[in-house]
Amino acid sequence: MALSLLQPGAALSAEWTAPEVDILRSLWIGTLGPPPPDPTNAVADDPDAAAMGHRLFFDTRLSRDGNIACATCHRPELRFADGLPKGVAIGMTKRNTPGIIGAAYSPWLYWDGRRDSLWSQALSPLEDPNEHGGNRMQYVHIIANDPGYRRSYEALFGALPDLSDAGRFPEDASPLGNDTWAENWRQMTDEDREAVNRVFTNTAKAVAAYERLLLPAPSRFDEYVAAVTEENEEQKNAIFSDAEVAGLRLFLGGGNCTQCHNGPLLTNFEFHNTGVISAPGDVPDKGRIVGVDQVRADPFNCLGDYSDAAIENCAELRFVRAGTELIGAMRTPSLRNLENTGPYMHQGQLETLADVLAHYNAAPEAMIGHSDIEPLGLSDRELEQLEAFLLTLAAPAATSERWLNPPAADTPHPHGD
């Protein structure tokens, strides 16, 4: 305490108890490590797959109208989100576009966790009429007809099927498409459909390998925790203002935020109903209670034919939690990089961080299911302190510039980063 006597203003940023330091360390990016292996994807950590995925992520030809790429909505300059309440491409999606930096750490993808791997996730927007709006047969032809993709694909996954017989492989076909595309799909043999699905899923596995490179970098908060651990008083006080320290205290204490926003990504990867009110005109979103059935039924899940995992690698899916507490529940989002990713929540209902904190302070009753949060009774000043703390979690991606920009057309990438 002697220091706080010497330095006016240091009193607030004062000592943390040993148990508090343990909690701070558990939130520290230094405990994050590389993304967990993805046994469902044999090329998850292959640099050539990542280079192919990089091209695919920015390639607008992978769409019905030739104008939409993943990067249309997941914009690198907005931390791979889009700044809109709900994602917009060919049409408008039902939910807010999450930033995907660090998505490789999540066992479940989407707000409702209806997919269980990055590659099975990537298949959906490609065929969603509101997003890329195309079909798997179309995409498989693009891979086969583009010399760069063909070369990368065959080096990674082996020979492409011979698609030259238009009777067997029409221009467009998909079980999820419009009537024509669905009819074309029905006309195909099981074997040919299998071959198309194989190329489609392998392509998505390359996209996933790229996404695994999008990682969070240390933020000012992480520097602060390092200074606390090293008991470097001077540095500690230089890194965080008194308001930020007070906000951090509330985050751990009176705000009860670490009940759900814990671990180095500030998420428990679990599903909770926090009573966020639907956007006007929207029906309340059922969230995880539907997502859990969808991920179990997904032919491209961990247990499906296109997964590279052994059954014992699929415990997460086999023993997935279900139950009525999941009505209206969404996956706890990471709180790293909240700057520039608003509006917030699953439908982008809340415009600013101040709105989010006002929501937690009031804890309205849920429209469906039961809210897991209680009113906090914090003062305006305390809410401002919490917001000041949340902003200290912002940091650029720990990913080299070249992965954040579209690749030069058809240039083979050198290995590694």
35, 85, 98, 216: residue in contact with ligand HEC (rule CB under 6 A): 98
The answer to whether 264 contacts ligand HEC (rule: CB under 6 A) is no
CA atoms of 274 and 286, how far apart (whole Å): 12
Mark the segment that binds ligand HEC (CB under 6 A) among 91-99, 166-174, 184-192, 233-241: 91-99
256 binds ligand HEC (CB under 6 A): yes
Separation of alpha carbons 143 and 303, rounded Å = 26
Among 15-23, 173-181, 227-235, 330-338, which window interacts with ligand HEC (CB under 6 A)?
330-338
Rounded distance, CA 106 to CA 110, Å? 10
Q: Which stretch binds ligand HEC (CB under 6 A): 94-102, 151-159, 167-175, 402-410?
A: 94-102
Amino acid symbol at 259: Q
| Measured distance CA(9)–CA(3) in Å, rounded | 10
- By CB under 6 A, is residue 356 in contact with ligand HEC? yes
Smallest CA-to-CA distance from 72 within 86, 81, 400 is with 81
Residues 174 and 127: their CA atoms lie apart, in Å, by 8
Query: Six-digit token pair at 370?
Result: 């039961």
- Tell me how far apart the alpha carbons of residues 417 and 415 are, in angstroms, rounded to a whole number: 7
Q: Is 345 in the site for ligand HEC (CB under 6 A)?
A: yes
- Residue 210 vs 237, nearer CB to ligand HEC: 210
Binds ligand HEC (CB under 6 A): choice among 203, 274, 307, 385: 274
Residue 360 interacting with ligand HEC (CB under 6 A): yes
| Min CB(2)–ligand HEC separation in Å | 33
Q: Quote the CA–CA distance of 214 and 218 in Å, as a whole number.
A: 13
Does 52 interact with ligand HEC (rule: CB under 6 A)? no
How many whole angstroms separate alpha carbon 79 and alpha carbon 216? Answer: 10
User: Alpha-carbon distance 126 to 62, whole Å?
Assistant: 7
Q: Which residues here bind ligand HEC, judged by CB under 6 A?
A: 68, 70, 72-74, 87-89, 93, 95, 97-98, 100, 103, 106, 109-111, 118, 121-122, 125-126, 131-132, 207, 255-257, 259-261, 272, 274, 276, 330, 332-333, 335, 338, 341, 344-346, 353, 356, 360, 372-373, 386
